[in-house]
Amino acid sequence: MTESASRDGATDVIDILTADHRDMLGLLDQIEGAADPATRRDLADTLIAEVMRHAVAEEMYVYPAIEEHLPNGAEEVEHDKQEHDEIVQLMKQLEDADAAEPRFLEVTRELHANLRHHMADEEADQFPQLRAHIPAEKLVSIGAKVETAKKLAPTRPHPHAPHSELFHKTVGPGVGMIDRLRDKLTGRTTD
Ligand SMILES: [Fe+2]
Ligand SMILES: [Fe+2]
């Protein structure tokens, strides 16, 4: 039974981010197990897009909550963002690598290790603390914002641009816009 099933059933931001993490690890296993280069390339491009959406949404809505509510939150976020930057660098290398060359799987394995470490920190330490410090309804509403941000986020790695900047370039200025877009998108999605 998942943890969400033991609460009131509403999906909150932690459920969403944790499910994303599982999806990413699943894609990494598939890439490493894929026999032909074209499949590896497709799966890697899907992974890169998913990680970008997730990382941008975290930086927009989740890391600010960590900063606000967790003891040492600012330091934790600094550390997390540094790890995101390293992950983006690796994804850029993966984007540029030839899926038929051994280098491709080397970069994939390095990315796999970095992501596993980063997710483990978030899940073991930061996410439980968010649940402890933030009311359940607030975590559900942050989850809705994260879902919208993921739909709108850039999907290509840009190692030299901060994610918040990328996001505003893609979406336009003003975080209030996210709420308006979310209202528009609500009911239209199929997932
Ligand atoms: Fe993260
Ligand atoms: Fe994450």
Among the bound ligands, the one closest to the CA of 119:
2
For the chain, which ranges sit under pLDDT 70? 1-8, 160-191
125-160 pLDDT, tens digit per residue, is 999 999 999 999 999 999 999 999 998 877 887 776
**Reported pTM:** 0.82
Distance 126 CA to ligand 2 centre (A): 10
162-173 pLDDT, tens digit per residue, is 666 666 555 554
Among the bound ligands, the one closest to the CA of 16:
2
Residue 174: per-residue pLDDT: 45
Residue 154: per-residue pLDDT: 77
Distance 55 CA to ligand 2 centre (A): 6
Query: DSSP letters along the chain, please?
Result: --HHHHTTS---HHHHHHHHHHHHHHHHHHHHH--SHHHHHHHHHHHHHHHHHHHHHIIIIIHHHHHHHSTTHHHHHHHHHHHHHHHHHHHHHHHHS-TTSHHHHHHHHHHHHHHHHHHHHIIIIIHHHHHHHS-HHHHHHHHHHHHHHHHHS--S--TTS-HHHHHHHHH-S-THHHHHHHHHHTTT---
Residue 156: per-residue pLDDT: 81
Residue 9: per-residue pLDDT: 73
